[in-house]
């Protein structure tokens, strides 16, 4: 959708009661729009010495990769509400300039690094098929890696453009030009450490199905960029040592290892995480500032489970409190790795965005990061929207994240409480109380037990409206229960408030020995289940079923584990129908109407608990 049309649609929806709904700030349409020309990519921000936010964008009047793509910057003095001082770092009528990142030196000088098609090459060699005659007309991921600088807080940029020499690796020498033309790009945040400047770069081996057919990561390091008066005199090294960059794990890893994101730990170690087409992100540590790296592995949670992620940006940030945040999409696994078209299909499903918290821990080699289980951070109501390429800004104790879906870039203020609870997840052993509308514990009653059933509405009527309309509540509910079943025979019903015609909701056991929730308003039905292999018979099981009316997603937390699909499905979370109006069934909820065992306790909340709160309930 064109920018003006989108803005008009948003204004119309906000002003027209027919489209009224309660606000969920996780919805990306509630963000503050960053101006651009049409295409919008990589809205990265640094805070300048005069207190402004300086944002760099790759933008253009057409689609990604087409002629006219160039780099611009602009400034905000009100945390992203308004933007001024737009500057073309490179003109739209020049060769393609793309994929810029910013870096601020200790003295306040600003640098912007980007791809530049300096030679105005109009085609490069690629695979045939998919490219006719083996010629790739998209030329924004080759050429030269360059930079400019600003000494006035980003209000203007140096006229001269400086080229960074990049040492050829094996991947470059094996490309169609034997490294005389280098294929590459960058999305990783540049950083400073121990007086040196570091800028990531993602080397490419070829173009074909899925665009990049082979890739690996490197770091460009300059020990004197911040010291020399003339940036042309700065010396650059290409890291790591040798001719092989950051790749996927040697055992079973695929050819794609790209969009490396780096951060520096408190002991000086470098941590790097990056995307693959293996269904999991890869990571590694360097203990010698990027010269050598540990053998890459697939990222894991602190509990040892593998993190799932597709072929999308997954970024890590170190916060001012010394803790970490990690942006990713929480699905994948073998369903991507074993897919015959994985190079292309793995780009999909970047909605919603999930975020994990990280805290440092000690290891024999040095500091490492322990990762919590994730929360939903941002979403769009349109499921195929792909949001990505974020940045994190901290300002006056608040957290802001930028993102783009390639047409509209925006800034979103993040709930501090969500992040604080993420970081506290390992120590949280308290049961959530806010929003509890049923708190039942088994005494000596025989099953089934009947309790008053709460009203759960996803839409409400507006009494002021003469047309009888209303609004989406964006609310949800959570079922939190402890039970002990003697066996996992299918058909057992743990909770049920359904009317004879099926209106209402129920929780039952499936033939896959999973729990399943069914939601129905008599017109629309939605069903989702827990992961296979998690439930056990003959011992207490703790399950939270979170029905989140914002992104309209159902998730299960089973015995403290947020379900991610495991090895049996790509997604552990599922969407429920956005037209589901309510799940108001019988006035009484039956607990244990058909079980071989006992329900110990049931708590129902009139809100969607966070993952952190559900884990706290389990650990209480």
DSSP 37-73: SSEEEEEEEEE-TTS-EEEEEEEESSSTTSTT-EEEE
Distances (CA, A) of 365 to 18, 241, 261: 60, 20, 21
Q: What is the mean pLDDT of the chain?
A: 95
590 lies in a domain? yes
- The phi and psi torsions of 412 (rounded to 5 degrees) equal -130, 125
Same domain, 157 and 300: yes
Torsion of CA 581, 586, 591, 592, to 10 degrees: -100
**CB atoms inside a 10 Å sphere around CB 84:** 11
Q: How far is Cα 284 from Cα 246, in angstroms, rounded to an integer?
A: 8
pLDDT of 12 > 70? The answer is no
pLDDT of 353 > 60? The answer is yes
Q: Which residue, of 410, 427, 444, is where some domain finishes?
A: 427
19 lies in a domain? no
Q: How far is Cα 412 from Cα 312, in angstroms, rounded to an integer?
A: 20
DSSP single-letter state for residue 453: P
Q: How far is Cα 18 from Cα 230, in angstroms, rounded to an integer?
A: 60
Angle at 140 between CA 125 and CA 249, to 5 degrees: 75
Mean pLDDT for 474-499 is 97
**CB atoms inside a 10 Å sphere around CB 394:** 13
Same domain, 329 and 420: yes
510 lies in a domain? yes
Burial 54-72 (b: 16+ CB within 10 A, else e): bbbbbbbeeeebebbbbbb
Pairing type for strands 191-193 and 162-163 reads: unpaired
539 lies in a domain? yes
pLDDT of 6 > 80? The answer is no
State residue 419's pLDDT score: 98
Same domain, 374 and 520: no
Mean pLDDT for 429-439 is 96
State residue 242's pLDDT score: 98
Q: How confident is the model at residue 458 (pLDDT cuts 50, 70, 90)?
A: very high
Q: Which residue, of 388, 407, 427, is where some domain finishes?
A: 427
Distances (CA, A) of 12 to 5, 104, 130, 470, 609: 10, 40, 42, 16, 31
Mean pLDDT for 33-50 is 97
Terminal CA-to-CA distance of the chain, rounded, Å? Answer: 47
Q: How far is Cα 377 from Cα 400, in angstroms, rounded to an integer?
A: 11
Structure tokens at 270: 């470098």
Q: How far is Cα 494 from Cα 543, in angstroms, rounded to an integer?
A: 12
State residue 21's pLDDT score: 58
Q: Which of 66, 10, 69 is nearest to 36 (CA)?
A: 69
3-state DSSP assignment of residue 565? coil
pTM above 0.85, yes or no: yes
H or E element that contains 10: helix 3-15
Q: How confident is the model at residue 23 (pLDDT cuts 50, 70, 90)?
A: confident
Pairing type for strands 449-452 and 353-363 reads: unpaired
Q: Which of 188, 564, 551, 518 is nearest to 356 (CA)?
A: 564
Q: How far is Cα 28 from Cα 380, in angstroms, rounded to an integer?
A: 6
Same domain, 202 and 107: yes
3-state DSSP assignment of residue 188? coil
13 lies in a domain? no
Contacts 24+ apart (CB under 8 A), 119-125: 119/95, 119/143, 120/95, 121/181, 124/176, 124/177, 124/181, 124/183, 124/207, 125/176, 125/177, 125/207
Same domain, 504 and 417: no
Same domain, 469 and 409: no
| Span 146-158, pLDDT tens digits | 999 999 999 999 9
Same domain, 421 and 531: no
| Span 572-587, pLDDT tens digits | 999 999 999 999 999 9
Same domain, 230 and 109: yes
Mean pLDDT for 158-167 is 98
Same domain, 165 and 266: yes
31 lies in a domain? no
Same domain, 120 and 231: yes
The rounded Cα 40 to chain-centroid distance in angstroms is 18
CATH code at 497? 2.60.120.200
| Span 492-522, pLDDT tens digits | 999 999 999 999 999 999 999 999 999 999 9
Angle at 46 between CA 44 and CA 50, to 5 degrees: 145
List beta partners, residue 25. none
State residue 137's pLDDT score: 97
Is the bond preceding residue 106 a cis peptide, omega within 30 degrees? no
Looking at 4-8, 406-410, 591-595, which range is the least confident one? 4-8
Q: How far is Cα 528 from Cα 86, in angstroms, rounded to an integer?
A: 48
Q: How far is Cα 293 from Cα 246, in angstroms, rounded to an integer?
A: 8
Check if the beta carbon of residue 423 is closer than 8 Å to that of residue 318. Answer: no
The rounded Cα 132 to chain-centroid distance in angstroms is 35
12 lies in a domain? no
Same domain, 104 and 178: yes
- The phi and psi torsions of 422 (rounded to 5 degrees) equal -60, -55
**CB-count exposure of residue 155 (10 Å: 0-12, 13-18, 19+):** middle
H or E element that contains 548: strand 541-548
Same domain, 215 and 84: yes
Q: Where are the beta strands (DSSP E) in 177-266?
A: 182-185, 191-193, 196-208, 211-222, 237-239, 258-264
Mean pLDDT for 365-389 is 97
Q: Report the domain count for the chain.
A: 2
What contacts 224, CB < 8 A, 6 or more positions away?
233, 234, 235
| Span 556-572, pLDDT tens digits | 999 999 999 999 999 99
Q: Which of 390, 411, 392, 405 is nearest to 46 (CA)?
A: 392
Q: Which residue, of 384, 407, 427, is where some domain finishes?
A: 427
Length of the chain: 620
Q: How far is Cα 615 from Cα 613, in angstroms, rounded to an integer?
A: 5
Domain around 327: 3-7+36-427
Q: How far is Cα 57 from Cα 72, in angstroms, rounded to an integer?
A: 5
- pLDDT > 90: percent of the chain: 94
Burial 361-370 (b: 16+ CB within 10 A, else e): eeeeeebbbe
The rounded Cα 540 to chain-centroid distance in angstroms is 34
Find the farthest-apart pair of alpha carbons in the chain and give their distance in angstroms, rounded. 83
H or E element that contains 422: helix 416-423
| Span 528-548, pLDDT tens digits | 999 999 999 999 999 999 999
Q: Tokens 């080397």 correspond to what residue?
A: 203
Q: How far is Cα 247 from Cα 276, in angstroms, rounded to an integer?
A: 9
Q: Tokens 């609870």 correspond to what residue?
A: 421
15 lies in a domain? no
CATH code at 187? 2.120.10.10
């Amino acid at each position: 959708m064109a920018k003006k049309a989108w803005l008009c649609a948003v204004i119309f929806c906000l002003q027209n009661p027919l489209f009224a709904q309660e606000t969920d700030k996780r919805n990306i349409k509630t963000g503050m729009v960053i101006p651009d020309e049409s295409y919008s990519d990589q809205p990265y921000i640094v805070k300048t010495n005069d207190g402004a936010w300086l944002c760099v964008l790759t933008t253009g009047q057409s689609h990604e990769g087409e002629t006219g793509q160039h780099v611009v910057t602009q400034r905000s003095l009100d945390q992203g509400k308004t933007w001024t001082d737009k500057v073309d770092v490179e003109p739209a009528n020049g060769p393609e300039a793309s994929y810029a990142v910013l870096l601020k030196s200790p003295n306040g000088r600003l640098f912007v690094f980007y791809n530049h098609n300096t030679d105005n090459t109009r085609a490069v060699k690629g695979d045939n098929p998919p490219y006719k005659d083996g010629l790739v007309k998209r030329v924004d991921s080759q050429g030269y890696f360059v930079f400019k600088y600003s000494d006035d807080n980003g209000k203007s940029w140096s006229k001269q453009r400086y080229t960074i020499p990049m040492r050829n690796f094996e991947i470059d020498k094996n490309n169609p030009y034997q490294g005389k033309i280098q294929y590459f790009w960058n999305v990783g945040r540049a950083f400073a450490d121990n007086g040196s400047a570091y800028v990531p770069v993602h080397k490419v081996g070829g173009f074909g199905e899925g665009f990049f057919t082979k890739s690996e990561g490197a770091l460009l390091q300059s020990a004197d960029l911040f010291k020399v008066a003339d940036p042309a005199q700065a010396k650059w090294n290409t890291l790591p040592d040798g001719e092989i960059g950051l790749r996927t794990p040697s055992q079973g890893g695929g050819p794609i290892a790209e969009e490396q994101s780096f951060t520096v730990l408190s002991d000086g170690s470098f941590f790097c995480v990056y995307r693959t087409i293996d269904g999991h992100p890869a990571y590694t540590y360097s203990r010698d500032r990027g010269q050598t790296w540990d053998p890459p592995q697939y990222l894991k949670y602190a509990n040892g489970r593998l993190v799932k992620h597709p072929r999308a940006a997954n970024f890590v940030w170190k916060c001012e409190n010394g803790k970490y945040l990690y942006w990713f999409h929480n699905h994948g696994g073998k369903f991507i790795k074993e897919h015959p078209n994985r190079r292309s299909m793995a780009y999909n499903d970047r909605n919603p965005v999930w975020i994990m918290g990280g805290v440092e821990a000690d290891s024999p080699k040095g500091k490492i990061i322990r990762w919590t289980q994730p929360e939903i951070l941002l979403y769009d109501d349109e499921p195929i929207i792909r949001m990505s390429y974020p940045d994190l800004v901290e300002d006056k104790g608040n957290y802001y994240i930028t993102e783009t879906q390639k047409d509209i870039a925006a800034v979103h203020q993040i709930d501090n409480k969500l992040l604080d609870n993420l970081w506290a997840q390992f120590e949280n052993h308290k049961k959530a109380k806010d929003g509890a509308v049923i708190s039942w514990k088994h005494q000596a009653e025989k099953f089934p037990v009947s309790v008053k059933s709460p009203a759960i509405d996803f839409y409400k009527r507006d009494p002021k409206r003469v047309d009888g309309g209303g609004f989406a509540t964006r609310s949800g509910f959570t079922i939190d229960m402890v039970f002990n079943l003697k066996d996992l025979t299918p058909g057992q019903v743990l909770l049920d408030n359904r009317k004879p015609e099926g209106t209402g909701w129920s929780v039952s056991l499936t033939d896959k020995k999973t729990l399943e929730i069914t939601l129905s308003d008599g017109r629309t039905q939605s069903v989702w289940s827990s992961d296979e292999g998690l439930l056990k018979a003959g011992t207490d099981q703790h399950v939270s079923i979170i029905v989140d009316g914002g992104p309209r997603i159902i998730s299960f937390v089973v015995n403290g584990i947020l379900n991610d699909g495991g090895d049996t499905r790509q997604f552990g979370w599922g969407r429920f129908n956005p037209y589901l109006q309510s799940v108001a069934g019988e006035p009484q909820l039956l607990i244990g109407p058909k079980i071989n065992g006992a329900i110990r306790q049931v708590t129902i909340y009139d809100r969607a608990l966070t993952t952190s709160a559900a884990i706290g309930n389990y650990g209480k």
